[in-house]
Amino acid sequence: MLPLSTPKQIVERTVREEWGRILASLVKSIGDFQLAEDCLQEALTVALDNWNKHGLPKSPAAWLLTTARRKAIDRLRRDKNFSGKQTEIAYLMDLENMAKGGGDLSATADETEIPDKRLEMIFTCCHPALEQKTRIALTLRTLGGLTTEEIAAAFLDKPQAMAQRLVRAKNKIKLAGIPYEIPDLEVLPERISSVLSVIYLIFNEGYSASSGDSPVRSDLCDEAIRLARIITQLLPDETEVTGLLALMLLHDSRRLTRTDGNGALIALQHQNRRRWDRGKINQGVRLLHEVLPRQLLGPYQLQAAISAVHAQSSNWEATDWPQVQALYALLYQMTPTPVVRLNQALALSYANSPEEGLRMLEEAAKGGALENYQPFHAAKADLLSRSGQFEDAGNSYRRAIELSDNLSERRFLEQKLNDLSGSSLAS
């Protein structure tokens, strides 16, 4: 990959990679979600003009953080309740005075402080006063830096509805006075489920990016794994925390083999298993061996067990598909969602037959929740193709392509459609 050098490219990269760090620090110091995000957006606009004229700072993220703080100070001074904002202004001025030399802002970019602030923000976003869906969405926006469109895609939702949900969440946190802190250990386990959902969605957006040119966003995968490690240290007795960490490590072990030299996707069936990261596989399997004997089984441990079957298979043909299908059946008992059923149908198609998989897939689609879900149409196309229904398979591939915003993913599906045309002519 060529190095990014223009101010616009640097801003875009910083937003993608450092949004969570900057915004979490801002919210913690300002105490207002919306004000922090507005000031950061203003700082991004200023950055484009300033960096074009004066060149790039040593630390773009630190530059944006301090510029956003200055914007917050200006806004608070202009506030009609200025006299009641003196404490916030004084605190921000102290942070401002720490920045030596203005441009580099290195003194405000202490990497050792930011992770703790992000962890605090995760639990703030996952406060019980917020709906489960809102908790996940807000944390994805605040900590993961995902756009509203990306979050909506993760939820099979409309962007406008998701944007309104995020605004309501920020207002509720402000009005309810929800604290920006890590909960006490007594209540921490009660909050862990939504936190794990957040982390896994962040990982999934990195592992299979919903938009853009690249199918993988390594920064999000690494961030999710890092956050899971922190929470594992905080809650060593929570088996699902360990299960999620194991699951992400096992998935991430295949990262380097999921694309070719041109960035095109490579299906699991055709990946070079010799290039899988054995260190991550061994660590993931070891974590599973630690928690499964406790017999406190949960969805993340089951998904990790499924991933471990793939990771430990020497090749595609050696995969124990009956075991994978059985694990998905157990997972469906715990979390009866259409997406779990979709994956079970795929496993069933290899364990028994594509026709049986298709029947299960059609059953999962009856509620309509999968209609605009791209993986459903891609899976349906695959099963139809393998059962010899090439015309219907082509229609499903075209629908999947239509629903894909990721360039690499779209090209992968287009190639599958082209291959399908050859198969249909050969038959």
The owner of tokens 């926006």 is 141
Residue 104 has pLDDT above 50, yes or no: no
Question: 183 is written with which tokens?
Answer: 């909960």
**∠ CA 161-9-143, rounded to 5°:** 45
CA atoms lying within 13 Å on the CB side of residue 272: 6
**In 278-389, which ranges are continuous DSSP H helix?**
278-291, 299-311, 321-334, 338-351, 354-364, 374-386
Q: Stretch 405-419: mean pLDDT, rounded?
A: 84
Give the distance from CA 267 to its chain's centroid. 20
pLDDT surpassing 70 at residue 13: yes
User: Looking at residues 236-265, what average pLDDT do you find?
Assistant: 90
Comparing 198 with 249, which gets the higher pLDDT? Answer: 249
- Give burial (CB, 10 Å; 0-12/13-18/19+) of 391: exposed
pLDDT tens digits along 364-393: 988 888 888 999 999 999 999 999 999 999
Report the amino acid identity of residue 36.
Answer: A
Q: Rounded CA gap, 227 and 235, in Å? A: 12
Question: Once rounded to an integer, what is the mean pLDDT over residues 144-157?
Answer: 78
Task: Tell me what pLDDT residue 60 has.
Answer: 84
Q: Identify the helix (H) or strand (E) that includes residue 151.
A: helix 148-154
What residue has token string 């700072």? 57
Q: Read off the pLDDT of residues 333-348 as tens digits, 9 standing for 90 and up.
A: 999 999 999 999 999 9
Nearest CA to 375 out of 421, 336, 343 is that of: 343
pTM of the complete model: 0.69
Q: Which residues contact 408 (CB under 8 A, 6 or more apart)?
A: 213, 214, 215, 259, 263, 264, 265
**pLDDT value at position 422?**
63
CA distance 162 to 149: 8
What H or E segment, with its residue span, contains residue 212?
A: strand 211-212
